[in-house]
Homo-oligomer: A and B are copies of this chain.
Amino acid sequence: MSVSAAAVRTLPSGLAERLALAADLFAEHGLEATRVDEVARITGIPRATLYYYFPGKEHILAHLLSSTLDDMAERIETAAAVPGTGRERLERVLREHLAFIASHGATYRLLFAELGRAASLVDIARGVDRAIRAPLRAVLQAGVDDGSLHVLDVHAAASVVHGAVLVSGLEQLLAPSDRTTDRTDAILQVVFEGLGKERVDRRAAEDDHGH
> Hey, which bits of chain A sit against chain B, CB under 8 A?
28-33, 87, 90, 109-110, 112-118, 140, 143, 147-153, 155-157, 159-168, 170-171, 174, 183, 185-187, 189-197, 199-200, 202-203
Please determine whether A167 and B157 come into contact, CB atoms closer than 8 angstroms: no
A193 to B151, CA, bound (A): 9
Partner of A190, one of B87, B90, B118, B157: B157
Please determine whether A159 and B153 come into contact, CB atoms closer than 8 angstroms: no
Where chain A touches its partner, the secondary structure class is helix
Please determine whether A33 and B30 come into contact, CB atoms closer than 8 angstroms: no
Count identical subunits in the complex.
2
User: Known: A163-B164, A167-B167. Contact between A192 and B187, CB under 8 A?
Assistant: no
Please determine whether A160 and B164 come into contact, CB atoms closer than 8 angstroms: yes
* Closest chain B residue to A196, Cβ basis: B192
A82 to chain B, nearest CB (A): 18
Which residues of chain B come closer than 8 Å to A170, judged between CB atoms?
116
Some 22 contacts from A to B, beta carbons below 8 A apart, are: A30-B31, A87-B197, A90-B195, A112-B113, A113-B113, A113-B115, A147-B197, A151-B190, A151-B195, A155-B183, A156-B183, A160-B164, A160-B187, A161-B190, A161-B195, A163-B163, A163-B165, A164-B167, A190-B194, A192-B196, A194-B194, A194-B196
Partner of A159, one of B113, B152, B167: B167
